[in-house]
Amino acid sequence: MRWNWQRPDWPYFQFEKNCLRDAETKFLRGSGVIVGAMRHLDTGANQQLVVQLMSEEMVESSAIEGEVLDRASVQSSIARHLGFAADRRRSTPAEAGAAELMVDLYQHYAAPLTDQSLFVWHTMLMNGRRDLDVIGGYRVHAEAMQIISGPIHEPHIHFEAPPSQAVPSEMAQLILWFNRTAPSGSEPLPAIERAAIAHLWFETIHPFEDGNGRIGRAIAEKALTQSLEGPTLTALAATINTHKKAYYLELNRASKTNQIEDWMIWFSQIVLEAQSQTLQKIQFLIEKTRFLDRWRGKLNARQEKAILRMLAEGSDGFQGGLSAQNYRSITGATSATATRDLANLVSLGALHRTGDNKYARYSLCLG
């Protein structure tokens, strides 16, 4: 089988130049909406959003690779790195390193991509690892770099990357192209086009022993962020993780050809979905702030505790709505007290009720 990097036209990717025109327009329009929405957030809410997006990106990006990170620990570590208020919970080396990478990506989004910056990211991401030959450098092993599945005696090879000795020159081409096509470069490209090509190109080279997926998605985030000329993030990894099976399928298809129009279109849809999710998170934070301002000092301690717990669930809220049993579990109230508290919240207009008796469910009246 001839992989894309083995073909004579590598790395000259071909696609219909107008295939992303509508997506690029929607992305720029959506970016303007996000910038405008963020102006409605106070400093505290803005900081909360930044930490939430950054932590979710790395937790979800790691989850794609099968690594489970504690969300609260990553959030705490990111907040400390950014100088925001945070608890002092301990993080594992993997969680601390992941947080450090996201902060570096956020703070130095405009910096050119270099071998050294990638080595720094890899060192952060592999924090605490002792099983790799090279950390903070490209792979050097002689054996083939393969993505495989199935039994050891009969593995299925999904992809084979260029040999280790070719990695430095392959990465030199990618890095030169990435910086040349930046908004400030000599040949700037539209945001999604650049991010899609950069991610596919990097994943094809697979330059590190481990961490290629997470670093590749960070590069895509960097490309999108540079186009907006501001330190912002989209929910890219979270959206990819939702479509994980399709993600690997599209990468696999694109690894066999340099005609990548299908990959470009699929990736553009993911970016737009991620941007939509980001806007939803911002809108929820705005509604949450207004909701808390509206009811501050008007509720008893039990009601406040339950409301805060509901808000902590995010825009989706409790699965199926809050029940009286949920309320009792959260507040420790008796059945009679829970019934009175919930009825009061409904009459005030803080909660909306559907159903009756034991089937009654409650949701927040946001907006």
Query: In terms of domains, do 325 and 280 share one?
Result: no
pLDDT at 257: 97
Query: In terms of domains, do 184 and 328 share one?
Result: no
Number of domains the chain is built from: 2
Query: In terms of domains, do 261 and 305 share one?
Result: no
Residues of the chain with pLDDT > 70, as a percent, come to 99
Residue 143 has pLDDT above 70, yes or no: yes
Give me the mean pLDDT over the 164-186 stretch.
98
Query: In terms of domains, do 195 and 339 share one?
Result: no
Using alpha carbons, list the distances in angstroms from residue 101 to 77, 194, 298, 311. 11, 21, 42, 28
pLDDT at 317: 72
**Cα separation, 208 vs 147, whole angstroms:** 13
Interval 271-324: pLDDT, tens: 999 999 999 988 988 898 899 999 999 999 999 999 999 998 887 677 789 999
Reduced to 3 states, what is the DSSP secondary structure of residue 227? Answer: helix
Among candidates 314, 313, 312, 310, which has minimal Cα distance to 352?
Answer: 310
**Cα separation, 364 vs 367, whole angstroms:** 9
Query: In terms of domains, do 82 and 209 share one?
Result: yes
Last residue of a domain, one of 231, 260, 285: 285
Residue 37 has pLDDT above 90, yes or no: no
Annotated binding-site residue numbers for ATP: 210-217
Backbone angles phi, psi at 157, to 5 degrees: -90, 110
Range scoring the smallest mean pLDDT among 117-121, 207-211, 290-294 = 290-294
**Cα separation, 123 vs 55, whole angstroms:** 18
Query: In terms of domains, do 45 and 105 share one?
Result: yes
Asked whether the beta carbons of 167 and 145 are under 8 A apart, the reply is no
What count of residues does the chain have?
367
Question: Is 243 among the residues known to form the active site?
Answer: no
Backbone angles phi, psi at 323, to 5 degrees: -105, 165
DSSP letter, residue 166: G
Helices (H), the chain: 21-38, 43-64, 71-82, 93-107, 115-125, 167-180, 191-205, 212-228, 236-242, 244-254, 261-295, 301-312, 324-331, 335-348
Give me the mean pLDDT over the 323-344 stretch.
96
Asked whether the beta carbons of 193 and 264 are under 8 A apart, the reply is yes
**Global confidence as pTM:** 0.89
**Cα separation, 366 vs 199, whole angstroms:** 38
Assigned domain for 293 exists: no
Interval 80-114: pLDDT, tens: 888 887 777 788 999 999 999 999 999 999 999 99
Assigned domain for 41 exists: yes
Assigned domain for 234 exists: yes
Last residue of a domain, one of 233, 256, 285: 285
| Structure-block tokens of residue 10 | 């590598």
Query: In terms of domains, do 182 and 312 share one?
Result: no
Query: In terms of domains, do 154 and 264 share one?
Result: yes
Residue 367 has pLDDT above 90, yes or no: no
Give me the mean pLDDT over the 177-181 stretch.
99
CATH code at position 80: 1.10.3290.10
Query: In terms of domains, do 135 and 265 share one?
Result: yes
Catalytic hit among 108, 158, 206, 243: 206
Interval 3-34: pLDDT, tens: 999 999 999 999 998 999 999 999 999 999 99
Pairing, β 156-160 against β 146-149: antiparallel
Last residue of a domain, one of 285, 307, 332: 285
Task: Indicate the average pLDDT of the chain.
Answer: 93
Cβ neighbours, 10 Å, residue 352: 14
Range of the structural domain that residue 109 is part of:
4-285
**Cα separation, 149 vs 301, whole angstroms:** 54
pLDDT at 1: 59
Query: In terms of domains, do 318 and 215 share one?
Result: no
CATH code at position 305: 1.10.10.10
Is residue 256 left, alpha or beta, with left meaning phi > 0 and alpha meaning psi from -120 to 50? alpha
Interval 124-133: pLDDT, tens: 999 999 999 9
Enclosing H/E stretch for 156: strand 156-160
| Structure-block tokens of residue 119 | 């080595």
Annotated binding-site residue numbers: 210-217
Asked whether the beta carbons of 350 and 296 are under 8 A apart, the reply is no
